[in-house]
Amino acid sequence: DIEHKILHLVRGEDKKEQKDVFAPLSIDDVLSARREVLDIHMSDAVEEWRSNKYASSVFLLLGAPGIGKSCFAANQLHYNPNVICGVFCEWDKESQKDAKNIIKTIAFKLATKLPDYRKILLTKFECRGTDFIQALGAADLFEQILIQPLSELIDGGRDKKIIVIDGLDEAG
């Protein structure tokens, strides 16, 4: 199959086969298979990063437009069990022009997946009401509804989870 042929080429195995491999393939097949090979290697890199307790808390994936970063991010969101939530920013979405909306979206999505985080947020809102968040700037909001509540959950008994944010440069 095509994935096996491309993996064969990437590894440099069986040089005499290289001439024959690309002959029956369309350029779309080759590009698709190359993307799948890259996804495999990137998935391995993400898992290596996630499982390294000494690694940075941020995994930044950079690349030229159209290279497949969003496809990879969507694939991770749907198939990587360690991805807990994802936000896909788009330049033409009015709601994403304000960082506070993105922060609130992440908080909401985390609250749907982490019952203990949800409980901390609900307790905070019961004590202070929800209006207090309207007066906060983006940095303070990030601190109040993400950093501070999540820091209360650090007990050493959890695997590192991943939050995917795609196209952050497209948000206002």
CB contact at 8 A, 40 and 10: no
Query: 51-70: per-residue pLDDT in tens?
Result: 988 888 888 888 778 878 88
Query: 125-163: per-residue pLDDT in tens?
Result: 888 877 888 889 999 999 999 999 998 887 767 788 999
